[in-house]
Every structure is written in C-alpha cells, then in structure tokens.
Amino acid sequence: MKKGVRSQSLQALKERRKQIDLIDQKLLFLLNRRLSIALEIGKIKKERREKIYNPKREDEILKRLNLKNRGPLKEEDLKKIFKKIMRVCRKSQIT
Ligand code: PHB
C-alpha cells in the first residue's frame, strides 16, 4: 500500500529525531567521561601546586579543534561550545 507524502515526511522526522536522541546520549556519555578526566587532572595539578586555569592549553584546544572542523558547525559556534565545556571542567576542578 502506497504511503502519502505527509506520512512519509512524518516517518522521516521520527527517524531523524531517533538519530538525534542517540547522538545526545553519546554526547552526554562523552561529556561525563571528559569531566571525569578533567577532575583527575585537577587533583594532579593540586598535588603539584599548579594553577587550575591554563589559558594557553585552552587556546591550543580551540585551535586544534578549529583545524579539525569540517562543518557545518561555524568557527564561532564551535568556540562558544568548547569554551563553555572547558569553563564547566575548570569550575568543577576548583570545587
Ligand atoms: C579542559 O580541557 O577542560 C581545560 C583545559 C584548561 C583549563 C581548563 C579546562 O584551564
């Protein structure tokens, strides 16, 4: 039985949302993994009496990611996202 255009597009919408939900789940897992490692780094820095804030390292990360980026994510948006991620990691290392 042939499906209508509306029903086909509704199916496509549902499939894309399923894909997004799976990606979000993976992102959440990876963000938690990243934070766990950042917390370990925080402990090592404390033992070594090093400063938590490392602007040079943050700049290097942003630069490397920007070189790797193939889009469609814009450079400014990539920067915003990762600055926020690093800020959360840095704040968590302190507290
Ligand atoms: C990080 O990779 O999460 C990171 C790096 C440098 C900082 C803070 C966080 O100063």
42 CB near ligand 1 (under 6 Å): no
3-state secondary structure 49-93: CCCCCCHHHHHHHHHHHHHHCCCCCCHHHHHHHHHHHHHHHHHHH
Q: Which atom of ligand 1 is nearest to the CA of 53?
A: 10
Q: In whole angstroms, what is the distance from residue 23 CA to residue 44 CA?
A: 32
Mean pLDDT (whole number) for 79-90: 98
Residue 3 three-state SS = coil
Look up the CATH number of domain 5-94.
1.20.59.10
Average pLDDT, rounded, for the chain: 96
For the chain, give every domain's residue range: 5-94
Q: Residue 38 and residue 53: Cα distance in Å, rounded?
A: 12
What atom in ligand 1 is closest to the CA of residue 54?
10
Residues 17-51: pLDDT tens digits? 999 999 999 999 999 999 999 999 999 999 999 99
Q: What is the pTM of this model?
A: 0.93
User: Which residue is closest in CA terms to ligand 1's atom 1?
Assistant: 86
d(CA 92, CA 52): 10
